[in-house]
């Protein structure tokens, strides 16, 4: 079996020797260089599996090597070595494509974990299927671009911030990044930060010792330790209180946590992915989210578009959802009428893909067993052709309640304008009389 080969670039002989000894003990061969120029010469002469480079070098910095390796036909993982506390440099390196970073003084256990993870990904024969087309559906240019980005992000350990509206598929994207990465065989822990009571957050995130507080009848490992070796996905990270934001920042930067009641910090090996439907940049300006944490989690930003911006994907999504809901093959699926499909493509979808699934599930319960018509979809009356309407504001309450209020107002206004003539009101709203009667009954307006 051919040993992996690592390139070490550092101008300090002691550091080079330490790294060489550590990697040789891991059964990895090494080549050393003391500056950027000699590092590039070795890269031209040999085929490497991983590179460890210091940031400050006599004739330049490690970012030049990151760029050089990323520009080759077969880029491989690069880890940069930074001065303790110099997170800005580490973040810049990961934005450029570095796999991860190591802070001085070098923690050898953390270094070994990093190298093992990097070598898994650089293996020339990955066992897993890395295609995402069958999971993240859609052939629009937007979705093809996102699938390409996911493949690139999977080759890094950089924190990724996934933005997008509720129901747009942020967790699905996070799972795909994890699955395609070198951590894919390890745990993926998804947490909704808005669903955890504030008084329990520290214990839930970092764990606690038995007896550390009233009710702590047993030891709890917490989310970070549960995700050890894998990925921690923090959904709705904007809901975290300021007190926990400080502790989260330290855990990310130091790669260590301190469980409640413990005196010693514990090293953790996780990749952090986070998401929210909120505008974190605006929250930073308003003082509701720490700027340093925002920059730390937002090393790479991946925006997931709302469904209304990729309406050409609706036929594929509809077929996939109907197959999932019915368990039928594509040839035996219920068929949407042309007018029903056109109605879906005109609808604004404030709830995105999640709302499309709810609409189709309801349609399956209502249709006559042959073709799903526009009446079976029972799309909300309002928002049919309002592509520029404002995004849903979560402060207004649950999405279903919010949509019901809009629908109730639209129907009531139409009835009043037509002197409560139901046939005329249905025509004004572009609904069949059958669909209009269903809505009146649903909203208790049929008295």
pLDDT (mean) for 384-388: 42
Residue 217: the pLDDT is: 57
Sign of CA dihedral 145, 150, 151, 155: positive
CA distances from 321 to 313, 335, 346, 435, 441 (A): 12, 12, 19, 23, 28
**Band of pLDDT at residue 170, cut at 50, 70 and 90:** very high
pLDDT classification of 385: cutoffs 50, 70, 90 = very low
The answer to whether residue 207 scores a pLDDT higher than 70 is: yes
DSSP bridge pairs for 160: 273, 300
Say what the pTM is. 0.76
Q: Residue 141 pLDDT > 50, yes or no?
A: yes
pLDDT tens for 37-78 read 999 999 999 999 999 999 999 999 999 999 999 998 888 999
Across 18-27, 59-68, 188-197, 437-446, least confident range: 437-446
Kind and range of the H or E run holding 356: helix 352-366
- 231 has a pLDDT exceeding 90: yes
Supply the pLDDT for residue 123: 59
Convert the pLDDT of each residue in 390-431 to its tens digit. 455 555 556 667 777 888 888 888 888 888 888 888 877 777
Supply the pLDDT for residue 275: 96
Name the pairing type of β-strands 231-235 and 78-82.
unpaired
Q: What is the pLDDT at residue 386? A: 40
Label each residue of 96-160 as H, E or C. Answer: CCCCEEEECCCCHHHHHHHHHHHHHHCCCCCCCCCCCCCCCCCCCHHHHHHHHHHHHHCCCCCCE
Separation of alpha carbons 168 and 280, rounded Å: 17
Q: Kindly list the structural domains of the chain, giving each domain's residue range(s) and its CATH number in brackets, ordered by start.
A: 5-121 (3.40.50.2300), 141-303 (3.40.50.300), 308-442 (1.10.8.60)
- Measured in residues, the chain has a length of 447
pLDDT at position 409, please? 85
Q: 9: which strand partners?
A: 33, 53
Given a contact cutoff of 8 angstroms between Cβ atoms, the answer to whether 318 and 336 are in contact is yes
In tens, the pLDDT along 111-120 reads 998 898 888 7
CA–CA separation, 101 and 114 (whole Å): 9
Is residue 19 over pLDDT 90?
yes
Residue 168 banded pLDDT, cuts 50, 70, 90 = very high
The pLDDT score that the predictor gives to residue 393 is 56
pLDDT for 118 equals 87
Six-digit token string for 393: 């504001």
Calculate mean pLDDT across residues 303-321: 93
């Amino acid at each position: 079996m051919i040993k992996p080969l690592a390139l070490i670039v550092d101008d300090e002989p002691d550091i080079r020797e330490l790294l060489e000894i550590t990697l040789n003990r891991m059964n990895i061969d090494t080549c050393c260089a003391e500056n950027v120029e000699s590092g590039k010469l070795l890269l031209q002469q040999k085929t490497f599996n991983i590179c460890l480079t210091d940031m400050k070098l006599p004739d330049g910095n490690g970012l030049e090597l990151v760029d050089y390796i990323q520009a080759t036909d077969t880029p491989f993982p690069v880890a940069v070595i930074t001065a303790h506390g110099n997170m800005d440099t580490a973040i810049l390196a990961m934005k450029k494509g570095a796999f991860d970073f190591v802070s001085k003084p070098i923690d050898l256990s953390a270094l070994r974990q990093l190298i093992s993870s990097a070598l898994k990904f650089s293996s020339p024969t990955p066992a897993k299927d890395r295609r995402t087309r069958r999971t993240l559906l859609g052939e629009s240019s937007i979705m093809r671009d996102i699938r390409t980005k996911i493949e690139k992000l999977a080759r890094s350990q950089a924190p990724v911030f996934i933005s997008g509206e509720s129901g747009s598929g942020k967790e699905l994207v996070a799972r795909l990044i994890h699955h395609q990465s070198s951590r894919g065989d390890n745990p993926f822990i998804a947490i909704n930060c808005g669903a955890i009571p504030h008084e329990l957050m520290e214990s839930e995130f970092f764990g606690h010792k038995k007896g550390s507080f009233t009710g702590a009848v047993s030891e709890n490992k917490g989310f970070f330790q549960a995700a050890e070796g894998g990925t921690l996905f923090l959904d709705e990270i904007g809901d975290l209180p300021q007190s926990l934001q400080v502790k989260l920042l330290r855990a990310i930067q130091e790669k260590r946590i301190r469980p409640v009641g413990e005196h010693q910090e514990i090293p953790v090996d996780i990749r952090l992915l986070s998401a929210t439907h909120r505008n974190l940049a605006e929250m930073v300006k308003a003082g509701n989210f720490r700027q340093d944490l925002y920059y730390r989690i937002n090393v790479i930003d991946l925006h997931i578009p709302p469904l209304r911006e990729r309406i050409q994907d609706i036929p594929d999504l509809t077929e996939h959802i109907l197959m999932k809901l019915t368990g039928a093959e594509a040839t035996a699926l219920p068929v949407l009428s042309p007018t029903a499909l056109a109605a879906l493509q005109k609808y604004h979808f404030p709830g995105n893909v999640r709302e499309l699934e709810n609409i189709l599930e309801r349609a399956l319960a209502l249709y006559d067993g042959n073709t799903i018509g526009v009446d079976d979809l029972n799309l909300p009356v309002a928002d049919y052709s309002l592509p520029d309407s404002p995004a849903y504001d979560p402060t207004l309450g649950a999405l279903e309640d919010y949509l019901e209020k809009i629908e109730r107002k639209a129907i009531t206004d139409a009835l009043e304008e037509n002197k409560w003539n139901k046939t005329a009101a249905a025509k004004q709203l572009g609904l069949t009389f059958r669909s209009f009667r269903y809505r009146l009954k649903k909203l208790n307006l049929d008295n």
